A and B are shown apart, each in its own frame.
Chain A
């Protein structure tokens, strides 16, 4: 094993150009694949402001099937939230919130800005994690009463106040209503579908018994395994609830659902085709790996051609075909792993610089930028084991495609021919 590493280094030094080209080529390939993977990971895994995704269930849409025929679909009505979701016993927390909407924010006397505002209840701030820079999040009472309070993101606050602590207690106007700043939190990346906003105001749902409505719900389970119990309880309550809406029926279209489902559920009356989306990603990964791998294969081949004499000598002195195969394959594995590290580094560099446009491109997100709009990715995603494991997996695949055939050929070469 040690010998294999030593030989890999020796050979990289004796064929520096080919080795460098191979490593750079592989690194670029790994970088592209990981870029896509990381963006997907950032949208689905426990990460950043949404650290509990794996033990959260979401419900954001409802469809009424009318007895007369036809359907009405919308986000969830207040009545459904009050009768089915809020009384649930199994979740540890039940966040009720609305979708983000563009609103005008202003400080008296200053020109106004358009920002994304979201209404949310107290539990919302338990399920999603916000870095408080000053002040406190809403209490249940404040939400219940619909108090005129607002939590601002750092960059919005910075536009009007010189320091976050200075903002707390000040008044700002949102769509010409006056709100008191209760807290300032660090900016949230727009990839956080539930947590993202630039300002949050209390969400009061308790008095709202509307049939259709603007609400979404996130329910926190004890663990991923505990989510089944929540689903069961929701189903049970929904059955009872459905008796009260007769002769119509209320359908949640497969919800409550996972983070992945929630992330891609962009229309109230359609279940997202997760299988197709996953398949698309696998195809993207494969294309991003296979095409460079074929190029690298030709480099591996010419690298081994140049070493034909050496391989012949080794065989003449007792190396088996297997030994040659293992040695040459492991040598390129060492290079590919090196390329993997390099590629990962490159990927983070690119995400750090152009995270926004990359995220937007990969996910087809269509939110238009507003003032202080944050597309950036929190680079802590680097430390997720899944990212490293998948990099390793991609390296293995890349290496298998790019060097299995050339190394197999090299191991089969005719000894006398290669010594000529």
Chain B
């Protein structure tokens, strides 16, 4: 059973004037424990692909199967549960909640799987220690550097212990030194903990550290 399976996935954005085909007939199968890099010029549909894999968006055609479950007809509740427990997202622009401190940001997903307050604290601290951020628990996101923000974001993505980590240009806003650190962290999560990782990147060097590279052009898989 594949961890992620996309069958003939298409995504068309329709506005009153134009129709944009962001994805067309995409077939991908990703196994448990794989580290997959997605590459391609900007605007070719990489983010759309990741959003669809993580159930943030729905395809206009085809099917997304996560851990053997077809997701097309999931209720809001079950889709939310998938986003909560099976998938963790890391965004290029971090998307930490500005009004919450580091600890609260990492605790946030745990709120939605009904964990008690004490356990949430414990788990969040442990995750922040793992990403080397345990000295900044009470800081607000605005007080962190880019690299630090992304570490916190990775800790948050790991909160509910998901099988899959989806990272959309996680190093896109970082300098090369910080990028290398974040890449190191992701590789660790893949190799030591066996998490399945799908990462969008423009960096060839990073992509070659992955098990497999999928290249996109104009919404189509070319490799």
A→B interface (CB under 8 Å): 2-3, 10-11, 13-14, 309-310, 312-323, 415-416, 419
Contact of B83 with A10 in the complex, beta carbons under 8 Å? no
CB distance from B114 to the nearest CB of A (A): 10
Interface residues of B in 95-143 (CB under 8 A from A): 95-100, 108-109, 111-113, 117
Residues of B within 8 A of A416 (CB): 51, 56-57
Contact of A316 with B99 in the complex, beta carbons under 8 Å? no
| Given A416-B57, A419-B91, A419-B95: A317 touches B83 (CB 8 Å cut-off) | yes
Bound CA–CA A263/B125 (angstroms): 66
**Total A-B pairs in contact (CB under 8 Å)?**
67
Residues of A within 8 A of B113 (CB): 318
CB distance from A273 to the nearest CB of B (A): 51
Bound CA–CA A62/B84 (angstroms): 75
Question: Nearest 4 A-B pairs (CB), nearest first?
Answer: A318-B84, A318-B112, A317-B109, A320-B80
- B156 part of interface (Cβ distance < 8 Å): yes
Interface residues of B in 63-87 (CB under 8 A from A): 76-77, 80-81, 83-85
Bound CA–CA A319/B108 (angstroms): 9
- B89 part of interface (Cβ distance < 8 Å): yes
Bound CA–CA A2/B111 (angstroms): 12
Bound CA–CA A315/B51 (angstroms): 13
Contact of B98 with A318 in the complex, beta carbons under 8 Å? no
Residues of A within 8 A of B84 (CB): 317-318
CB distance from B143 to the nearest CB of A (A): 15
Residues of B within 8 A of A320 (CB): 76-77, 80, 112
Contact of A11 with B99 in the complex, beta carbons under 8 Å? yes
Bound CA–CA A419/B90 (angstroms): 12
Residue of A316, A318, A319, A322 near B85 (CB, 8 A) is A318
Bound CA–CA A285/B98 (angstroms): 40
Contact of A315 with B95 in the complex, beta carbons under 8 Å? no
Contact of A315 with B99 in the complex, beta carbons under 8 Å? no
Bound CA–CA A319/B97 (angstroms): 14
Residue of A13, A314, A415 near B56 (CB, 8 A) is A415
* B157, closest chain A residue (CB): A317
Residues of B within 8 A of A10 (CB): 99-100
Contact of A319 with B112 in the complex, beta carbons under 8 Å? yes
Other A-B pairs beyond A314-B97, A318-B84, A416-B51, 7, CB < 8 Å: A310-B98, A314-B108, A316-B95, A317-B84, A319-B112, A320-B112, A415-B56
Contact of B111 with A3 in the complex, beta carbons under 8 Å? yes
B→A interface (CB under 8 Å): 51, 54, 56-57, 76-77, 80-81, 83-85, 89, 91, 95-100, 108-109, 111-113, 117, 156, 159-160
CB distance from A321 to the nearest CB of B (A): 5
CB distance from B76 to the nearest CB of A (A): 5
Bound CA–CA A314/B89 (angstroms): 11
Bound CA–CA A152/B55 (angstroms): 80
Bound CA–CA A14/B104 (angstroms): 15
Contact of B83 with A315 in the complex, beta carbons under 8 Å? yes
Query: What are 11 A-B residue pairs whose CB atoms fall within 8 Å in the complex?
Result: A2-B117, A14-B98, A314-B108, A314-B112, A316-B95, A317-B109, A318-B83, A318-B109, A318-B160, A323-B112, A416-B56
Contact of B95 with A319 in the complex, beta carbons under 8 Å? no
Bound CA–CA A337/B161 (angstroms): 38
Bound CA–CA A321/B109 (angstroms): 14
* A319, closest chain B residue (CB): B112
Residues of A within 8 A of B98 (CB): 14, 310
Residues of B within 8 A of A314 (CB): 97, 108, 112
* B111, closest chain A residue (CB): A3
CB distance from A157 to the nearest CB of B (A): 62
Residues of A within 8 A of B77 (CB): 320, 322
Residue of A3, A14, A322, A323 near B99 (CB, 8 A) is A14
Contact of B51 with A317 in the complex, beta carbons under 8 Å? no
* Residue picked from A310, A315, A318, most chain B C-beta under 10 Å: A318
Bound CA–CA A109/B159 (angstroms): 91
Contact of A310 with B57 in the complex, beta carbons under 8 Å? no
Residue of B100, B117, B156 near A317 (CB, 8 A) is B156
Residue of B51, B57, B80, B91 near A318 (CB, 8 A) is B80
* B109, closest chain A residue (CB): A317
* B48, closest chain A residue (CB): A416
Residues of B within 8 A of A419 (CB): 56, 91, 95
Bound CA–CA A320/B159 (angstroms): 17
Contact of A321 with B76 in the complex, beta carbons under 8 Å? yes
Contact of B89 with A317 in the complex, beta carbons under 8 Å? yes
Residues of A within 8 A of B100 (CB): 10
Residues of A within 8 A of B89 (CB): 316-317
CB distance from B106 to the nearest CB of A (A): 10
Bound CA–CA A313/B57 (angstroms): 13
Bound CA–CA A15/B108 (angstroms): 20
Bound CA–CA A14/B97 (angstroms): 11
Bound CA–CA A312/B77 (angstroms): 15
CB distance from B156 to the nearest CB of A (A): 7
Contact of B156 with A316 in the complex, beta carbons under 8 Å? no
* Residue picked from B85, B97, B159, most chain A C-beta under 10 Å: B97
Residues of A within 8 A of B108 (CB): 313-314, 317
CB distance from B20 to the nearest CB of A (A): 14
Residues of A within 8 A of B99 (CB): 10-11, 13-14, 310
CB distance from A14 to the nearest CB of B (A): 4
